[in-house]
Amino acid sequence: MAREEIAMMQDNIFLKIIERKIPARIVYEDDHCLAFHDINPQAPVHVLIIPKKVIPTHADITEADKELLGHLHWVAAQLARQLGLEKGYRLVLNCREQAGQSVPHLHLHLLGGRQMHWPPG
């Protein structure tokens, strides 16, 4: 792995949130993941669900991560229920530059509380 890539992985903002080096409005935590409100919400409910393991992008997941990815989805479904999103919600996962990924730490966006539109743009 290139030195810049290692530096990027060690310096991502979500890792700092996991390590409580910067604050966030945390709504859920367990041994494998953390969920907190997005700093720039795009819907009345906008929560990010992140693994504690650093996986830079969706394209970097390996077979060993299959259970972890399933766990993130299970947490998303629990949180959607807890946050009152019975009418529906959207899960978004941006992968790399063309999808607009801005933080190099895999994350699921859980969005809800308003009518969503399609295509997402």
36 binds ligand DGP (CB under 6 A): yes
Contact partners, residue 16, CB within 8 Å, separation at least 6 = 22
| Residue 119, CA distances (Å) to 115, 116 in order | 13, 9
Catalytic annotation, pick one of 73, 107, 109, 117: 107
- Neighbouring-strand partners of residue 110: 47, 91
Letters for 46-85 (x = contact with ligand DGP by CB under 6 A, - = none) are --x-------------------------------------
100 binds ligand DGP (CB under 6 A): yes
* Catalytic (active-site) positions: 107
